[in-house]
Copies of this chain bind each other. A is one copy, B any other.
Amino acid sequence: MDRIPILRMGQFLLVTIQVDLYDRLALDLEADLVKMVSKTGAKGILIDISAVSIVDSFMGRIIGNIGVMSKLLDAETVVVGMQPAVAITLVELGLPLKGVYTALNVERGMDLLKSKIQVIDDEEIDPDDDDSDDITE
């Protein structure tokens, strides 16, 4: 397989990792995802790793990188479906996936992304609203 497919679903991009992310494939995914966020203006990325049973420091770093890069392009990243063994390995490797949110499954991840975008939208609206008397209404 040359590329991991990235599925566009409205404001979000969905990636299902089913194979071992060897170096070339992982770097391609990173580049493809960032390009896709830029092209589509996506507000969130969902990465499903439920089929991943083994994780190494390289893959952990790539997922972290994707999170930070997308954040720079104003998109949030949520990793879903992590197996318990993978969570243990990530912590033991000292890779707590900074800049990346996690959720138990795709549905919860989607809800999390929606709430994050909601919160961010609200924060963006707030500064215009200088009327501090609002609270008494």
Q: How far apart are the CA atoms of A4 and B81 in the complex, in Å? A: 13
Cβ of A115 within 8 Å of any chain B Cβ, yes or no, is no
Cβ of A48 within 8 Å of any chain B Cβ, yes or no, is yes
Which positions in A face B, CB cutoff 8 Å? 1, 3-5, 7-10, 14, 16, 18-19, 48, 50-51, 81, 105-107, 110
Q: By the criterion CB–CB under 8 Å, are A48 and B5 in contact?
A: yes
Q: Which of A3, A18, A107 has the most C-beta atoms of chain B within 10 angstroms of its own C-beta?
A: A18
Q: How far apart are the CA atoms of A5 and B50 in the complex, in Å? A: 7
Q: Give 25 pairs: A residue, B residue, CB < 8 Å, sorted on A.
A: A1-B18, A1-B19, A1-B51, A3-B51, A4-B18, A4-B51, A5-B18, A5-B48, A5-B50, A5-B51, A5-B81, A7-B14, A7-B16, A7-B105, A8-B106, A8-B107, A9-B106, A9-B107, A9-B110, A10-B107, A14-B14, A14-B106, A16-B16, A16-B18, A19-B19
